[in-house]
A and B are shown apart, each in its own frame.
Chain A
Amino acid sequence: MPLDTSTTYPLTRLRLDGRRWNELRLLQAQISTNPASSGSSYLSMGNTSIMCSVHGPAEGRRGDGGSAGSGHAVVEVDVNVAGFAGVDRKRRAGGSDRQSSRIATTLRSAFQSHLHTYLYPHSTISIHVSVLSADGSLLAAALNACTLALVDAGIPMPGLLCGCTSGMSGSASTPRDPRHDELDPLLDLSLPEEQELPSLTVATTTAVPVGENNMDEDEEAMKVCVLTMESKVHATYLETMLAVGIDGCSQIRELLEGVIKGSRG
């Protein structure tokens, strides 16, 4: 089924949900939602809503093997997509599915290297992510929710880690036409867009200032720390998508900072 966007978008420049190409969905977030955990957050981007809770840093489980005995904290991530999250109720054949385990792996590797884990040797930081409602950009929303929960838990990190998706509408599988140089990138994809269009998830963070020169820079230097793409796109479009995604990340960063500072973003 072709997406309506592909027929109407070139004419109206409005997406299915009425957004323009560079608009984010409504992002709402809260921190400290669950008093039983060290840190917790609730984040919704459009119809995607996620609850995240962090336990720890705490003593790792015994029998964990050599990993807990190292000089760094170990980040554990558990992602659970609720059965009622999608449009149709998902039938699960026991255990976890491919999508949630892939998100969990990405989150784990992102935060394992992002957090200052060396401050908590021999300990475990466990993150539990529950997806209550899934409408695209799951990984990006999970990254943002985890960041908020980790901030709430007071775990030191060099900067906020903010994720966003970007996609490319039009015939993205053919190389770009140099004479007809128009690109249709989209920011923050919803589920129908994500299913139809090539999309990538990018997450950025503030780069740690190294050396004397970086200390007096006005503009904060951004560093891409997560980049995943699960669909095909011609290499010529990648740069634009990446640029749009990074721009979205900095918009989300401002919103998340607003949430943390108490004024709801």
Chain B
Amino acid sequence: MSSQRQASSASQVPHLSPAELSYLYTSLSLPKNPIRPDGRSPTQFRPLSAETTILPGTNGSARIGFADGTQAIVGVKAEVEKTVLAADTLDSRSLAQHGDALNREGEEGSAAVSGQGEWVQMSIEIPGFRDDDALPVFLSEMMRESLVGSVAGGDVDGAKEMAGGLKGRLVINKRWHWRLYIDVLLLSQPLAYPLPLLSLTTHLALLSTKLPKLKSTGEEDPFFDDDWAAAEYLYPRSNTSDPSLSAAPSYPVRPPVTLLVIAVGENVIFDPNREEIAVADAVLAISVTRSSDSETLKLLSIRSIDPPSRLTQPGIPNSENVNMIGATAAPGEESGGQEEVEGVWRPRRGGVKRGVIARMVKTVLGKGGVGEEVLEGLEGVEVQ
């Protein structure tokens, strides 16, 4: 039972004494400038190494390794599948439009048919966990829903194929569609909550994912180009080879990134390690993506994650400690022992101020904020 509780919670609670927890909490909650155990600034990420297109047998793949040795490998595979027609099939008018679009642009015209979220399947392998344990299932669903839910608005250049979001991109024609399998492999026991690692790796793998070029048109059975060199990226790229435009994002639409943010006191801290999560007041998973029509980032989802600080052992203030009775001045004043005593650890009972959440979101989304920084950093990874 207790192991199950731990698995569903943010991560295994590290073996820290109440005194250590209290020390960590105090230094992390220092007003304005928290002191983190590894000396990072609140918005600084751990260094990581990344590479893409590492597995020749997949449509797209990526590997990311943190400096502490946790590594994840993501492989994306796509299969063609027959669409089971839903009740709300298209009427002939929109079908005609669909055909027009095809003739005019020679493109897939995926805007005419909307995709289904279940075409994207995600599974996460974590050593030491079964497939159907709470942690892998929760993580995969959390990442899948933001992936499926991200719909790009407007049709700026290059974003035409992505008009229906990822779901729309998977439509081949009315009767056929792609099914996307995203398999995430964590290569070592998670040292911290693995969500940011898995999310960044999935992001890179999806960016490197290619689908074979469609040769058939319209409602024919799909027929693809044999040449893998002609394959098209799942997330299309704007082919601006002009160096003067290099400032513009090379991907009009990008898969979402889920960031892990914790609040300690009034402070907002990014990419927490295991010890930092253990004293967090609140743990949030924030999914963002770049919308195609504007420069700013778009918030897709916020999920709160059960903070493991709930499960830690409380410290006992001197006033309540049986061994210390007599040594302290006035033991009789203490009531229920529920209030905070300076320097004594109390398990967090959850709850966070609205202002703190607002600041968390603002730090992620703001101009030049953490979200942009992460996306830019990922863009720097060479995707051949």
Check A34–B185 contact: CB distance below 8 A: no
Check B191–A49 contact: CB distance below 8 A: no
Is A130 an interface residue when CB atoms closer than 8 A count as contact? yes
Check A34–B188 contact: CB distance below 8 A: yes
Is B76 an interface residue when CB atoms closer than 8 A count as contact? yes
Is A92 an interface residue when CB atoms closer than 8 A count as contact? yes
Check A82–B183 contact: CB distance below 8 A: yes
Check A36–B191 contact: CB distance below 8 A: yes
A75-91 to B contact mask, C-beta < 8 Å, 1/0: 00010101111111100
Chain A positions 129-147 with a Cβ under 8 Å from a chain B Cβ: 130, 132-133, 135
Check B132–A83 contact: CB distance below 8 A: no
Check B56–A47 contact: CB distance below 8 A: yes
Output the least CB separation between A138 and chain B (Å).
Answer: 14
Answer whether A35 and B68 are a contact pair too, CB < 8 Å, given A82-B75, A82-B125, A84-B57.
yes
Is A128 an interface residue when CB atoms closer than 8 A count as contact? yes
Check A80–B55 contact: CB distance below 8 A: no
B residues within 8 A CB of A206? Answer: none
Check A132–B69 contact: CB distance below 8 A: no
CB-based nearest A residue for B181: A89
A59-97 to B contact mask, C-beta < 8 Å, 1/0: 000000000000000000010101111111100101100
The answer, among B127, B181, B188, for a CB contact under 8 Å with A84, is B181
A residues within 8 A CB of B125? Answer: 80, 82
- Docked Cα-Cα span, A36 to B71, in Å, equals 9
A residues within 8 A CB of B73? Answer: 51, 82, 130, 132
Chain A positions 85-134 with a Cβ under 8 Å from a chain B Cβ: 85-89, 92, 94-95, 128, 130, 132-133
Is A53 an interface residue when CB atoms closer than 8 A count as contact? yes
Chain B positions 171-187 with a Cβ under 8 Å from a chain A Cβ: 181, 183, 185, 187
Output the least CB separation between B127 and chain A (Å).
Answer: 6
Answer whether A89 and B79 are a contact pair too, CB < 8 Å, given A95-B130, A95-B131.
yes
Output the least CB separation between B12 and chain A (Å).
Answer: 14
The answer, among A83, A94, A135, for a CB contact under 8 Å with B181, is A83
Check A88–B76 contact: CB distance below 8 A: no
A residues within 8 A CB of B69? Answer: 34-37
Check A84–B79 contact: CB distance below 8 A: no
- Docked Cα-Cα span, A94 to B133, in Å, equals 10
- Docked Cα-Cα span, A83 to B183, in Å, equals 6
- Docked Cα-Cα span, A155 to B211, in Å, equals 45
Check B183–A132 contact: CB distance below 8 A: no
- Docked Cα-Cα span, A236 to B306, in Å, equals 64
Is B116 an interface residue when CB atoms closer than 8 A count as contact? no
Answer whether A82 and B185 are a contact pair too, CB < 8 Å, given A36-B69, A47-B57.
yes
B residues within 8 A CB of A36? Answer: 68-71, 188-189, 191
- Docked Cα-Cα span, A133 to B57, in Å, equals 7
Check A53–B187 contact: CB distance below 8 A: yes
Output the least CB separation between A23 and chain B (Å).
Answer: 20
Output the least CB separation between A36 and chain B (Å).
Answer: 3
Is B123 an interface residue when CB atoms closer than 8 A count as contact? yes
Check A130–B76 contact: CB distance below 8 A: no
Output the least CB separation between B332 and chain A (Å).
Answer: 43
Output the least CB separation between A35 and chain B (Å).
Answer: 4
Check A78–B57 contact: CB distance below 8 A: no
Check A84–B76 contact: CB distance below 8 A: yes
The answer, among A49, A82, A92, for a CB contact under 8 Å with B131, is A92
B residues within 8 A CB of A88? Answer: 79
Chain B positions 64-85 with a Cβ under 8 Å from a chain A Cβ: 65, 67-71, 73, 75-77, 79
Check B188–A80 contact: CB distance below 8 A: no
Check B55–A53 contact: CB distance below 8 A: no
- Docked Cα-Cα span, A92 to B136, in Å, equals 15
Check B185–A130 contact: CB distance below 8 A: yes
B46-74 to A contact mask, C-beta < 8 Å, 1/0: 00000000011110010001011111010
Check A133–B56 contact: CB distance below 8 A: yes
Check A84–B132 contact: CB distance below 8 A: no
The answer, among B57, B123, B189, for a CB contact under 8 Å with A85, is B57
Answer whether A83 and B123 are a contact pair too, CB < 8 Å, given A34-B71, A53-B187, A132-B73.
yes
Check A51–B187 contact: CB distance below 8 A: yes
Check A84–B77 contact: CB distance below 8 A: yes
- Docked Cα-Cα span, A199 to B70, in Å, equals 37
Check A34–B55 contact: CB distance below 8 A: no
9 pairs from A and B in contact (CB 8 Å cutoff): A35-B67, A35-B68, A36-B68, A82-B75, A84-B58, A84-B77, A88-B79, A92-B131, A94-B131
In the complex, besides A36-B188, A92-B131, A132-B75, 4 extra interface pairs with C-beta distance below 8 angstroms are: A34-B187, A51-B73, A80-B185, A130-B187
Q: Give the 7 A-B residue pairs with the shortest CB-CB distance, closest first.
A: A36-B69, A84-B75, A35-B69, A83-B183, A89-B77, A36-B188, A89-B181
